[in-house]
């Protein structure tokens, strides 16, 4: 059994943080949800069996189950799993449990048609654990299954924590010579340059499909989004959906989504 030795730091963070409201708290956060669901549905096939690893409080998984898919959701934080259970007592095609992304041994090889890894890569602090999480996600995916991995780009830490939360003085202590922020477990979140994240898949049995900016500039510009009319906001979403796969639009997204197919 492989265990994330930093799991207590992660559990403590999410026990205190109100994750359940995050994706719907304002337009800036909601763009992430709308974009991610758009790509999930783009690749879903009828009758697909889905696993979400790092499901949080289940917004993606529960809605997919309500759409009729057989869904299993796992999360490291017991509080999140309890919230999911409280929401889904009448859903027969949904189940959830506490589990570590580094050890999905409760699932057999090649069990799922789609595997969503939407949280774990934010909180892994060495290369071995990052590779292990990817390996476990791919192991439980069937041949030709779509796998999606959410991750945080370095610029998100700079713009979010550094600027919006006035944390650049602290960031100076963890920034390397090329502007990457080092993996520090006490800081809870880690980040990647896009090219570094893609390198994690070079020796895997996968085919690259896309890299998506799931919220683009929405989070750092969220105050301006709130000022838009409904028509203006819909036009912003149209532009975002048209450009979120462009490499020149991705750097300052708060979240990115790597999509691949298991060969």
CA 56 centroid distance within chain:
10
CA 196 centroid distance within chain:
17
Residue 1 has pLDDT above 70, yes or no: no
Domains annotated on the chain, with CATH: 7-262 (3.40.50.150)
The pLDDT assigned to 166 comes to 83
- 177 CB burial (10 A radius; 0-12, 13-18, 19+): exposed
Q: Which two tokens stand for residue 25?
A: 């708290």
- Give per-residue pLDDT as tens, 89-116: 999 999 999 999 999 999 999 999 999 9
52-87 CB burial, b ≥16 within 10 A, e <16: bbbbbbbbbbbebbeeebbbbbbbbbebbbebbeeb
Please report which helix (H) or strand (E) contains residue 125, including its range. none
Question: Alpha-carbon dihedral of residues 35, 134, 107, 115, nearest 10 degrees?
Answer: 20
Residue 215 has pLDDT above 80, yes or no: yes
The pLDDT assigned to 3 comes to 73
Of 10-19, 119-128, 160-169, 244-253, which gets the smallest average pLDDT?
A: 160-169
- Give per-residue pLDDT as tens, 57-75: 999 999 999 999 999 999 9
């Amino acid at each position: 059994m492989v265990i994330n030795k930093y799991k207590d730091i992660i559990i403590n963070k999410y026990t205190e943080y109100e994750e359940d409201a995050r994706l719907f708290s304002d337009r800036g956060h909601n763009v992430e949800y709308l974009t991610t669901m758009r790509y999930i549905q783009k690749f879903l096939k009828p009758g697909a069996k889905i696993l979400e690893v790092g499901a949080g409080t289940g917004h993606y998984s529960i809605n997919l189950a309500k759409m009729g898919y057989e869904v299993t959701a796992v999360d490291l934080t017991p509080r999140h799993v309890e919230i999911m259970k409280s929401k889904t007592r009448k859903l027969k095609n949904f189940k959830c449990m506490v589990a570590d992304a580094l050890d999905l041994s409760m699932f057999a090889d090649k069990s799922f048609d789609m595997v969503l890894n939407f949280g774990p890569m934010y909180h892994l602090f060495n290369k071995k654990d990052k590779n292990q999480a990817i390996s476990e996600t791919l192991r439980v995916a069937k041949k030709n299954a779509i796998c999606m991995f959410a991750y945080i780009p370095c610029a998100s830490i700079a713009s979010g924590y550094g600027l919006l939360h006035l944390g650049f003085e602290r960031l100076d202590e963890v920034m390397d010579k090329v502007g990457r922020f080092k993996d520090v477990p006490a800081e809870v979140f880690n980040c990647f340059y896009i090219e570094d994240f893609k390198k994690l898949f070079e020796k895997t049995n996968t085919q690259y499909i896309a890299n998506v900016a799931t919220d683009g500039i929405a989070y750092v510009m969220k105050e301006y989004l709130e000022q838009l009319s409904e028509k203006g906001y819909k036009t912003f979403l149209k532009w975002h959906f048209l450009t979120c796969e462009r490499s020149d639009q991705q750097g300052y997204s708060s979240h990115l989504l790597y999509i691949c197919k298991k060969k």
